Chains A and B, each alone.
Chain A
Amino acid sequence: MSDIRLVWRKGLNIVMLTLTGVACFAVVAVLFMILGYLVWNGGKSLNWDFFTQLPKPVGEVGGGMANAIVGSLKLLGLAAVIGLPIGLMAGVYLAEFGGSVFSFVTRYTTDLLNGVPSIVMGIFAYTLLVLPVKHFSALAGGMALGVMVVPITVRATEEFLRAVPKSMREGAMALGASKWKTIATVILPAASGGIVTGMLLSLARVAGETAPLLFTAFSNRFWSPGLNQPIASLPVMIYTYAIAPYDDWHRQAWAAGLVLLAMVLVANLGCRLVLNRRGAYRSV
Chain B
Amino acid sequence: MGTSATTIDHAAPPPAGQRSFVSRLTDGDEVAHLITLVFAAAILLITSLLVYELWINSTLSRAKFGWVFFWTRTWDPVSGDFGAAPFIYGTLVTAVVSLVIAVPLGLAAAIFLAELAPRRVSDSIAFLIDLLAAVPSVIYGLLGIFVIVPLMRTTIGPFLKTTLGFLPFFKGPNYGVGFLTAGIVLAIMIVPFIISVSREVLLTVPREQREAAMGLGATRWESTWQVVVPWARTGVMGSIFLALARALGETMAVTMVIGNDPKIAASLFAPGYTIAAVIANEFTEATGNLYLSALIELGLVLFLMTFILNGLARILIVATERGGGHGAA
Residues of A whose CB lies within 8 Å of any CB of B are: 9-10, 12-13, 16-17, 19-24, 26-28, 30-31, 34, 37-38, 41, 85-86, 88-90, 92-94, 96-98, 102-103, 105-106, 108-124, 126-128, 131, 147, 150, 154, 172-173, 175-181, 183-185, 204-205, 207-211, 214-215, 218, 235, 238-239, 242-243, 250, 253-254, 257, 260-261, 264-265, 268-269, 272, 276, 282-283
Of A13, A109, A118, A185, the contact of B251 (CB 8 Å cutoff): A118
Contact with A along B283-297 (1 / 0, CB 8 A): 110000000000110
The reply to whether B251 and A210 form a contact with Cβ atoms under 8 Å apart is yes
Output the least CB separation between A80 and chain B (Å): 15
> In this assembly, does B129 line the interface, its C-beta being within 8 Å of a C-beta of chain A?
yes
Q: Which of A12, A96, A208, A250 has the most CB of B within 10 A?
A: A208
Chain A binder among B47-55, B81-89, B159-167: B47-55
Q: How far is the CA of A19 from the CA of B27 in the complex (A)?
A: 62
Q: Which residues of A contact B132 (CB under 8 A)?
A: 27, 30-31, 34
Q: Which residues of B contact A123 (CB under 8 A)?
A: 53-54, 57, 279, 283, 295-296, 299
* A243 to B, closest residue via Cβ: B256
The reply to whether B32 and A16 form a contact with Cβ atoms under 8 Å apart is no
Q: How far is the CA of A96 from the CA of B16 in the complex (A)?
A: 17
The reply to whether B36 and A92 form a contact with Cβ atoms under 8 Å apart is yes
List B residues 262-284 near A (Cβ within 8 Å).
276, 279-280, 283-284
* B109 to A, closest residue via Cβ: A24
Contact with A along B239-267 (1 / 0, CB 8 A): 00010011011111000100000000000
* Contact residues on B (Cβ < 8 Å of other chain), bracket: 35 or more
Q: Which residues of B contact A106 (CB under 8 A)?
A: 40-41, 43-44
Q: How far is the CA of A175 from the CA of B5 in the complex (A)?
A: 8
The reply to whether A86 and B220 form a contact with Cβ atoms under 8 Å apart is no
Residues of B whose CB lies within 8 Å of any CB of A are: 3-4, 7-8, 10-12, 16, 24, 27-29, 31-33, 35-44, 46-47, 49-50, 53-54, 56-57, 104-106, 108-109, 111-113, 115-117, 125-132, 134-139, 141-143, 145-147, 188, 191-192, 195-196, 200, 219-222, 225, 242, 245-246, 248-252, 256, 276, 279-280, 283-284, 295-296, 299, 302-303, 306-307, 309-311, 314
The reply to whether B43 and A90 form a contact with Cβ atoms under 8 Å apart is yes
* Chain A to chain B contacts (Cβ below 8 Å), 19 pairs: A12-B221, A17-B220, A24-B195, A86-B42, A90-B42, A105-B44, A109-B44, A119-B299, A179-B27, A180-B27, A180-B31, A204-B134, A208-B134, A211-B251, A215-B283, A238-B139, A239-B256, A250-B146, A283-B196
Output the least CB separation between A257 and chain B (Å): 5
* A235 to B, closest residue via Cβ: B138
The reply to whether A27 and B307 form a contact with Cβ atoms under 8 Å apart is no
Of A20, A113, A265, the contact of B47 (CB 8 Å cutoff): A113
Output the least CB separation between A62 and chain B (Å): 20
Output the least CB separation between A93 and chain B (Å): 4
The reply to whether B139 and A208 form a contact with Cβ atoms under 8 Å apart is yes
The reply to whether A9 and B39 form a contact with Cβ atoms under 8 Å apart is no
Count of A-B contacts judged by CB separation below 8 Å: 294
Of B35, B105, B145, the contact of A89 (CB 8 Å cutoff): B35
Q: Which residues of B contact A239 (CB under 8 A)?
A: 138, 141, 252, 256
Q: How far is the CA of A128 from the CA of B45 in the complex (A)?
A: 14
The reply to whether B136 and A260 form a contact with Cβ atoms under 8 Å apart is yes
Q: How far is the CA of A39 from the CA of B54 in the complex (A)?
A: 40
Q: How far is the CA of A185 from the CA of B32 in the complex (A)?
A: 13
The reply to whether B108 and A24 form a contact with Cβ atoms under 8 Å apart is yes
Q: Which residues of B contact A209 (CB under 8 A)?
A: 136-137
Given contacts A24-B108, A103-B40, A124-B50, contact A117 B302 (CB under 8 A): yes
